[in-house]
Structure 1
């Protein structure tokens, strides 16, 4: 028996988690000389590569190095590097100050502390996934797309309100609203998202755009989120034109539901990398089901005269789910997810093509 090995024990190699692999990729990226250590110069390169317009003073870099270099070797090994990136005193420096907001809407996991009784090695793991997805949040480039859209919607609403019209009948709304009698004005299939019926309608959409759309931009970048948003808007108007050919449409609900469904797509595609994926999935599914179910019940069972375009909500959600699977970032691709990607892309374009062709050639349906 080899010396130092206890009778009746089995040596089991530790398997790196996805979080370990995530930090290892970053560590290797900035370990320019591949010596397994981060030098002072390499540390400064990390800091200056972030979203700063100018270099940090050398004395600030000195303080960071002294704080992170636990063994005073003048270098950071991998363990010290990971500890530095998670140090609460340094998070603002490395662009992770956004974690305060992210972790305010996503619950923390409870760490599990395990110590091997033979070797004395200590390992801290999480009870639900690795949370690698949350590490991808970044403020650079800035997430301003949903903010700009929200500002435009507010400005246009205020302009119509200044004319005493807040029910989508003002001069701006008349140009942008989806009017079933003016379907030849193709821009209306998209621009209806910019006008709203009342303050409450506007505020609800703004809340989702800002508190869900902005975090999605931080991970997936603005152009991906914009594709999802516009896909939901277009799907909402096309589906409504086919199912309710006499209904007018106003509001960004199609795009908003696309964002909600896109987040569900993100949860599906990054299930193992997200914190509390099952809880997030159930919450969003419950909210969407209740909202759409209530609108359908009020219309067909209670026969209330209401103007909620539930078809636009539903179609926007379907588009957001399909396009979200197709364009949003997938941190770790698996074989079944590649097949799902193709299925989502083909199904979305097939449905959109049917909607466009029906609006062009099915003229008797709209008379």
Structure 2
């Protein structure tokens, strides 16, 4: 039984989101990753730039003496959590810890931790943005950068040979040409070909600003799968709906990245900051761009050749493949069913598109060898 004035902290046997929250902060303090916070580590953190003008010289000694219950000279994880919850630290350490914690952990959504004493029951609520905590610069996010470099190099090569309108020597080899559908690589490599500087710059900006953040959380191979799935879906869908058009540009992959962001918002809704705002922004941008492309194609005053079908197909592929391969930080039952539905629908659509391109010969112009 706790004595008068003593405080008992309830520690659940299985990890909760609150446990993970404090574990991340504990690991941030534990500079040498030995599972313990030493006096030196605690002193280094408190005397860092955030606190150098705030605390008196003896504060670290007071904190360690009060928090180190077993006098080991270190704070283990349980002692650390008790220290953060202990009302005795309010006067010594409270708001300084809170300010430091708030500076390193993004916040949204309630996470409850309960502290029980003999006199009262107090509920402390904490919130975090778990998804944002997953951003990492290692391994470096270079996949989208490398793809962008290849696109720039190919464009510059063709420009040096007098053409920036997808009729240069490299463009002729890599563009999707409906008369050369037997050259299967064209269903993917058209993403390296661009018609004009503006076309190239727009795709580069979007895929870098969207692709690199995705890579930092989900790693390069997942983002590459999403990107290539959008590119392949864009060419397959265009070949079926506009069987006589040539296709150039990375818009299928770009729209796959946009839709992948929507997928990751859906799958990590509770773990993301400002999820609803991000979702609405991506949906609005995609709707405006596709709507403009459709209008210009059929009702605009000028003659345009925007492959809006590739945009739509890339977005659908990005959404489905994003749900299937991108990281889901906290799986729920309905998300598992959604995962199976996304995988089955995507595979079915891709198989149908490939079979139609192979066997629906009369639908396409005659091939030129």
TM-score relative to the length of structure 2: 0.75
- CA gap of 1:86–1:241, structure 2 versus 1, over 3 A, is farther
CA change 1:19–1:204 in 2 (3 A) is farther
Residue 142 of structure 1 and its aligned partner are, at CA, apart by 1.0
Residues in 1 aligned to 2:74 and 2:357: alpha-carbon distance in whole angstroms:
65
Distance in 2 between residues matched to 1:4 and 1:207, nearest whole Å: 63
Which residue is equivalent to 2:182?
184
Unmatched 5+ stretches in structure 2: 47-59, 85-95
Alignment partners' CA distance in 2, 1:220 and 1:353:
26
**2:228 paired residue number:** 230
Aligned counterparts of 1:306 and 1:259: Cα–Cα separation in 2: 24
Report if the CA contact (8 A) 1:18-1:132 is conserved.
Answer: no
Equivalent residue number for residue 217 of structure 1: 215
Aligned length: 321
* Residues in 2 aligned to 1:355 and 1:241: alpha-carbon distance in whole angstroms: 9
**Partner residue of 1:66?**
43
Matched, 1:18 2:17: yes
Question: 1 CA distance for matches of 2:270 and 2:324?
Answer: 18
Structure 2 match to 1:137: 135
Q: How does 1:294-305 map to 2 (within 5 A)?
A: 294-302=292-300, 304-305=302-303
**Residue range with higher mean Cα deviation, 177-186 or 18-27:** 18-27
1:83-232 maps to which residues of 2 (within 5 A)?
123=124, 125-126=126-127, 130-232=128-230
Q: State the distance in 2 between where 1:357 and 1:308 align.
A: 25
Cα shift readout 1:57-76 (whole Å, capped 9, x = no counterpart): xxxx9864422475235424
Q: How far off its partner does 1:302 sit?
A: 3.2
CA distance in 2, matches of 1:85, 1:143: 32
Q: Do 1:68 and 1:76's aligned partners in 2 also have CA atoms closer than 8 Å?
A: no
Cα–Cα, structure 1 residues 66 and 263, in superposed 2: closer, same or farther, change >3 Å? same
Per-residue CA deviation, residues 111-156 of structure 1 (Å, 9 max, x unaligned), is 99x999x859684534xxx310001111111111111111111111
Structure 1 pair 257–120 and aligned structure 2 pair: CA distance change class (3 A): same
* TM-aligned CA distance change 1:162 to 1:80, over 3 Å: farther
Paired residues for 1:316-355 under 5 Å: 316-355=314-353
Q: Structure 1 CA distance, aligned partners of 2:31 and 2:351? A: 56
- Corresponding residue for residue 42 of structure 1: 34
State the distance in 2 between where 1:237 and 1:223 align.
Answer: 21
Q: Distance in 2 between matches of 1:283 and 1:350?
A: 30
* RMSD of equivalent CA atoms: 4.0
Match of 1:239 in 2: 237
Structure 1's unaligned 5+ residue stretches are 6-11, 31-36, 47-60
TM, length-normalised to structure 1: 0.76
- Distance in 2 of aligned mates of 1:237 and 1:85: 54
CA distance in 2, matches of 1:341, 1:252: 26
Take 2:223 and 2:172, find their aligned partners in 1: how far apart are those partners? 28
Residue 25 of structure 1 deviates from its aligned partner by 7.5
